[in-house]
Amino acid sequence: MDKSIKIYIAVLVFILTLILVIDRDQPKPIDWRPTYAVNDKIPYGLYVFDKEINGFFKNHKVERIPDVTPYEFLDSKYNEDTLVENYKIKGTFINISENNTIDEQSIKEIFYFVSHGNNAFLSMKTFPQYLLDSLKVEVNSDYLNANKTQLWLANKKNKKYTFAHQLDYYFSKIDTLNTTVLGYQGAKPSNVKDINFIKVPYRQGYFYLHTQPVVFTNLNLLKADHYQYAESVLSYLPKGDIFWYTKGQNNETISQSPLRYILAQPGLKWAWYFFIFGMLIFIIFNAKRKQRVVPILKPLPNSTVDFTKTIGNLYFQEGDHRNIIDKKIIYFLEKTRTEYLIDTTKLDDTFIQKMHHKTGKSETDIQELVFLINEHRNSYHGSLEEDLIRINNAIEKIIH
């Protein structure tokens, strides 16, 4: 094994061990989230209620609805036969959550379920607006300047239960002609009295609305005599089967992840995160391909120009200016034929005009070049060196 890998592993093991040692004696922080989930043992979960619900509803069948919406569940229980047109089930639909978790389509289905002689018990702080409007009910929330709140029921010998919460949601408006008040709440020690539990008829059934779902949570069911209040509230529900919509407001379900236990423990969770982080660092710094440095190869130089210069210098040093002039003229005429497609048999005025139009060069410069070429061909020479310079300059003006 590579030495650097051993170092990485040793450092990682040391960090993980250090985290576990430090976190071993640390108290597990309390999760105060109001999840209202049946699998949560935290203060505001419904784990205890889920275990004791058969005791609250003795001799009643309790059916949980964990995975589908109320609409999907109730609609599947409806018999559409024209001779029946009724639900195959009878009883009470219940839902306990911090805030409304039911979609509007499901609320409408619950209304239809109640209208066929069934009931619905909803305990939540905020209700669906469609339900409030239909039942002519309003919910309000006032800040209570008190550390404790008392809850009591209208027809249960008026026993008051004291809760260490500011329970400030209540029914501020009800249809007094049709609504029955079942419970109250008030701040201690003031004399505030607000309605928190009502019964509203709807066609052949009833809605039971309750604004304090916190009384059904683990924290309160295990504290003093608070379970008696929850039991008394549920005792108002008519006899029959119970259909409990258990999907919490955060849609908690039991995680199926193999890391469920590790992520549930703070120490193990952070150890896992450090392990992933360390592995990422290891991969980043060791993913580079290890190899010898590739030498830089310089491209082969283009020696054509140097070769041309060398040949030119040889001719020039030999003093063979005539030969150089002839090759210059041959080069110029060949380039004219291949690039401009101009006949070079006769270097006359016609040639000059064609050259002028195709190259765009000055007609005077072209005339001068033609004159020098013809003069050279007629063997009229002065100084060959001067002629070479003049012809070279004239050619440069035309083809560059």
Residue 39, in any domain of the structure:
no
Residue 33, in any domain of the structure:
no
Whether residue 71 is found in the same domain as residue 7: no
Whether residue 191 is found in the same domain as residue 55: yes
Whether residue 325 is found in the same domain as residue 240: no
DSSP bridge partners of 121: 94, 208
Whether residue 373 is found in the same domain as residue 271: no
User: 307, 59 in Cβ contact below 8 A?
Assistant: no
Q: What is the pLDDT of residue 249?
A: 47
Residue 253, in any domain of the structure:
no
Residue 145: give the domain boundaries: 47-245
Q: What is the pLDDT of residue 252?
A: 47
Residue 300, in any domain of the structure:
no
Identity of residue 218 = N
Q: What is the pLDDT of residue 344?
A: 86
Radius of gyration of the chain (CA): 49
pTM: 0.60
How many domains are there within the chain? 3
Whether residue 16 is found in the same domain as residue 143: no
Whether residue 97 is found in the same domain as residue 14: no
**Would you write out the chain's pLDDT as a tens digit for each of its 400 residues?**
567 667 777 777 777 777 777 766 667 788 888 989 998 999 999 999 999 999 999 888 999 998 889 999 999 999 988 777 899 999 999 999 998 889 999 999 999 999 999 999 999 999 999 999 999 999 998 766 566 788 999 986 778 898 887 678 999 999 999 999 999 998 766 677 899 999 999 999 999 999 999 999 999 999 888 999 999 999 999 999 999 999 754 444 445 567 766 776 777 787 788 788 878 877 776 666 555 667 788 877 766 556 666 666 666 666 677 778 888 888 888 888 888 888 888 888 888 898 888 888 888 888 888 888 888 888 755 567 787 788 888 888 887 7
Residue 214, in any domain of the structure:
yes
Whether residue 14 is found in the same domain as residue 122: no
Whether residue 87 is found in the same domain as residue 213: yes
Crossing angle of helices 321-340/304-318, nearest 10°?
A: 140
What gap in Å lies between CA 254 and CA 271, rounded to an integer?
Answer: 23
Q: Does a cis peptide bond (omega within 30 degrees of 0) precede residue 201?
A: no
Residue 305, in any domain of the structure:
no
The per-residue b/e assignment along 62-85, b for 16 or more CB within 10 angstroms, e otherwise, is: eeebeeebbbebbbeebeeeeeee
Write phi, then psi, for 41 (nearest 5 degrees): -95, 5
Whether residue 364 is found in the same domain as residue 239: no
What gap in Å lies between CA 192 and CA 35, rounded to an integer?
Answer: 29
Whether residue 54 is found in the same domain as residue 118: yes
User: 107, 131 in Cβ contact below 8 A?
Assistant: yes
Q: What is the pLDDT of residue 95?
A: 96
Residue 227, in any domain of the structure:
yes
Question: Tokens standing for 278?
Answer: 């360390």
What gap in Å lies between CA 295 and CA 333, rounded to an integer?
Answer: 47
What gap in Å lies between CA 182 and CA 174, rounded to an integer?
Answer: 12
Residue 70, in any domain of the structure:
yes
Whether residue 210 is found in the same domain as residue 356: no
Do β-strands 62-65 and 241-245 pair in parallel, antiparallel, or remain unpaired?
parallel
Q: What is the pLDDT of residue 257?
A: 64
> Residue 263: CA atoms inside 13 Å, Cβ hemisphere, count?
7
Whether residue 364 is found in the same domain as residue 278: no
